[in-house]
Structure 1
Amino acid sequence: MLAAVAAAAVPGVAPVATGPSPDDAADFRSCVVQDADGRRWRVRSPLNTEASMRLETEHLVLQAFTPSVRARLPFHLPSVAGSVAHNGLRTFVYSHLAGHTLSLRELQRQNTDPEPPLHAPSPSAAPRAPLAVQLGRALGTLHSLPRALVMDADLPAYSADQCRKRMLHDLDQAATTGLIPGELLRRWEDALEDTTLWQFSTRVVHGDLQEDNITIDHGALVSFTGWSDLHVGDPAEDFSWLVGMADPTFADTVLEAYSVAAVQPPDRHLLRRAHLKAEFALAEWLVRGVDRGIPSMVENAQRMLATLAEDVRATASPSPGVTGPVAERSPEGADPSSAPTGSVPTVPAPGHDDSGLETGASGHGATDTGAAPTGPAVTGGGPASSSEPYPRASSSETEDPRA
């Protein structure tokens, strides 16, 4: 069916084969189509009005990336080749990009043991950077794009405080379900009320970055996909997926490369907000299941939330991104090296704060604070007692809402 749609949407396409294409199975039907000339196309067909609006928005976003902007990015973006109305909704056909998506575990493996390139590089060519470095550079470049790119396309732009208030609103909505452990609701509310975490300069962010939207080809970053949520907002949104990495050094490497590539260094609490967003994503998943009336989705989310609550209790994590009990403040004038250890992060090298990132940030607009907040910062961690810090819902765990 999708192959026929591709033929109708793009003149001259004569499909001869189809293959799978990872996507959100609750919202889309997708596939890769190969035509008689050997060209490949990605087809995405929405299953509901909301998904259709997301595709329309993505089309608008991709148009905002002019050839000059695309040339600045160290990765490719898909291009819309055509579209056609199908069952009252619009299906889009994109030019297919090489490579494939990888699981978090496979991303980590290819970071240390990448697949060799198809063609031997020139002897004078610089060695290819590890995958984590490539991702950090890509995010740094993306977050350094001018805000006008988003605002001229009439896409959302939020201040740091608006980001916090929007998440508070979502928290209130999640609480009304009565299905989320109270300890998690209080944990997230405390983090949202801690205004020191929310003093940052907003950036152009992807908004839905996770492993299913990252295409890799033989150890090289090829593209970011899924551009329906591009906006100006909290850069931590594009780092929350890294919380699922079993090896924290992968995320550390991404952040280090990011701090070098970005025009402005990241704020000191970016990691903590990334952990908060990773935890809260489970509540958003539950709310989505409730709104759509999918019991299996709700039950899955409840199981993951229960696991998270157990991990929080087991690790005595007082806040997202904090690995254990907060150490008592050292007496004024005391040697910092005599402070209690345990959950206290290792003192970083000069020029970095406790998160391992360069300190200081300056904002572009009047809505941004323009300065790095004061107070202790913490690194990585998060409540975990298994190889993955937070249970995750993948597209393979979703259901067709029409079933």
Structure 2
Amino acid sequence: MARSPLTLAALATAAVPGLEVAGAAALGSQGRGDVDSALLSTRDGRSLVIRVPRTPAAENEQSADLVALRALSDGVRSRLPFAVPRMLGQAPVDGTRALVSEFVAGTPLTLEGITPGIAASIGHAIAAIHGLPTSVVADVGLPQRRPTDVVRDAVVTMDRAAATGLVPAALLARWEAAAEDSTLWQFSPAVINGSLGASSFLTVGETVTGVLGWSHLQVGDPARDLFWLLGASDPLVAESGLDAYHQARGMHDRQVGRRAVFAAELEVARWLLHGTEQRSTEIVDDAVEMLGALLDRVQGDVMNPLTPEPSRSATLTDAIQLSESTPPSSPPGERGLPQRGEF
């Protein structure tokens, strides 16, 4: 049974000593999600959020988020052009814990609602994350993934997907060629959020004001934070976002666009694997249909392969052209899986 806003307000006073709550309202899909949450107003004029996980998976994500947010010190936050939630206190409840954080203002995004202007702000925001010193992650023991780790994980996903017998041979060959192309994986690992999607961002107008969901903070492949932009129906969204990203970060990683395309395509394979793990015929059939659509789009696309000719560097235009034949990713909170309605 879902906890009411008043019950959550009482928990908040236990989590934050001296807190005086003046009002409480439901936040999100009350009682229908994995987390009970409420928006609190305090007598000193602040807006806070309290969340209590309802499932083991939500509890694990909350714990990882807490570790990541603690790693983002005041000095680190000052380098970001947007707000990040700040944890204020916690209290035990029914075998788990309630967490109280500052409310971050802004309008949540959907992939369909992103304009090229918003995408540019998103590109700058992601670039700021990637520009943080890697010690932010290393000092608290969060994952640090090298290019070889990224390739290895991709190969494991490909092999598992191939074992289902449901992935077209042409797609497997395309992915294998990408995994074997050493030039594609010559990048410097950076601090990444690790689970970005449209719903990660809060905006006011066309400016990103906040970024939520930091449970996968790590050092890794910058493409992991960018590939979901390729799912926008308007190609100008991906172009604007990646262009702004490169303006802020420079073009030292010229293959990031192609790796983003590769990552987006592998999301379909992960959706297939999720369906087989859950023994869901509906998900498996959906994934097979997606794979077929992807094959139709990329088959015979000799102009924009995932693996460029040795004498030819990938350009931003190449990456955007590829994005038009690449399925999108899903928002975070859905296991990073593509949703049917986004194709």
Decide whether aligned partners of structure 1 residues 41 and 216 sit closer, same or farther in structure 2, where only a CA change above 3 A counts. same
2:319 to 376, 379, 401: 379
| Contact 2:51 2:100 (8 Å CA) reproduced | yes
Which residue matches 1:16?
A: 24
For the pair 1:275 / 2:261, whether they are aligned, the reply is yes
What CA distance in whole angstroms lies between the structure 2 residues aligned with 1:314 and 1:252? 19
1:312 to 263, 275, 295: 295
Q: Secondary structure at the match of 1:267?
A: coil
Q: Secondary structure at the match of 2:187?
A: coil
2:251 to 255, 265, 270: 265
2:316 to 356, 366, 369: 356
AA partner of residue 76 (structure 2): V
Which residue matches 1:64?
A: 71
Q: Secondary structure at the match of 1:187?
A: helix
How many Å apart are 1:230 and its aligned residue?
Answer: 0.8
| Contact 2:144 2:219 (8 Å CA) reproduced | yes
| Contact 1:181 1:306 (8 Å CA) reproduced | no
How many Å apart are 1:61 and its aligned residue?
Answer: 0.9
Which residue matches 2:341?
A: none
How many Å apart are 1:89 and its aligned residue?
Answer: 2.9
Which residue matches 1:145?
A: 132
Which residue matches 2:141?
A: 154
For the pair 1:288 / 2:274, whether they are aligned, the reply is yes
Which residue matches 1:246?
A: 233
AA partner of residue 5 (structure 1): L
How many Å apart are 1:355 and its aligned residue?
Answer: 1.5
Q: What is the TM-score normalised by the length of structure 1?
A: 0.70
What CA distance in whole angstroms lies between the structure 1 residues aligned with 2:162 and 2:134? 33
| Contact 2:228 2:330 (8 Å CA) reproduced | no
How many Å apart are 1:384 and its aligned residue?
Answer: 5.2
For structure 2, list consecutive stretches of 5 or more residues without a partner in the other structure. 336-343
Which residue matches 1:124?
A: none
How many Å apart are 1:199 and its aligned residue?
Answer: 1.1
2:122 to 132, 135, 153: 135
Which residue matches 2:80?
A: 73
Which residue matches 2:327?
A: 390
| Contact 1:101 1:216 (8 Å CA) reproduced | yes
AA partner of residue 256 (structure 1): D
For structure 1, list consecutive stretches of 5 or more residues without a partner in the other structure. 112-129, 331-346, 348-352, 358-377, 399-403
TM-superposition CA deviations, 1:94-119 (whole Å, max 9, x none):
211111212222112xx4xxxxxxxx
Q: Where do 1:3-402 residues align within 5 Å?
A: 3=5, 4-9=7-12, 10-11=15-16, 12-13=20-21, 15-20=23-28, 25=33, 28-35=34-41, 37=43, 39-108=46-115, 111=116, 130-262=117-249, 265-291=251-277, 293=278, 295=280, 299-300=282-283, 302-316=285-299, 323=304, 354-356=314-316, 378-382=318-322, 389-390=326-327, 392-393=329-330
Q: Secondary structure at the match of 2:240?
A: helix
Decide whether aligned partners of structure 1 residues 71 and 265 sit closer, same or farther in structure 2, where only a CA change above 3 A counts. same
TM-superposition CA deviations, 1:287-339 (whole Å, max 9, x none):
33444x362xx6235414423423422452559xx657999999xxxxxxxxx
Aligned length: 325
How many Å apart are 1:218 and its aligned residue?
Answer: 2.3
Q: State the identity %.
A: 31
Decide whether aligned partners of structure 1 residues 184 and 354 sit closer, same or farther in structure 2, where only a CA change above 3 A counts. closer
AA partner of residue 194 (structure 1): D
What CA distance in whole angstroms lies between the structure 2 residues aligned with 1:294 and 1:184? 23
CA-based RMSD of the aligned residues comes to 3.4
How many Å apart are 1:253 and its aligned residue?
Answer: 2.2
Higher helix share: 2
Decide whether aligned partners of structure 1 residues 139 and 325 sit closer, same or farther in structure 2, where only a CA change above 3 A counts. closer
| Contact 2:48 2:101 (8 Å CA) reproduced | yes
Q: What is the TM-score normalised by the length of structure 2?
A: 0.81
| Contact 1:82 1:94 (8 Å CA) reproduced | yes
What CA distance in whole angstroms lies between the structure 2 residues aligned with 1:82 and 1:174? 43
| Contact 1:2 1:43 (8 Å CA) reproduced | no
* Rg (Cα) greater in structure: 1
TM-superposition CA deviations, 1:205-245 (whole Å, max 9, x none):
11101101111122221111110111111000011111112
Decide whether aligned partners of structure 1 residues 300 and 202 sit closer, same or farther in structure 2, where only a CA change above 3 A counts. same
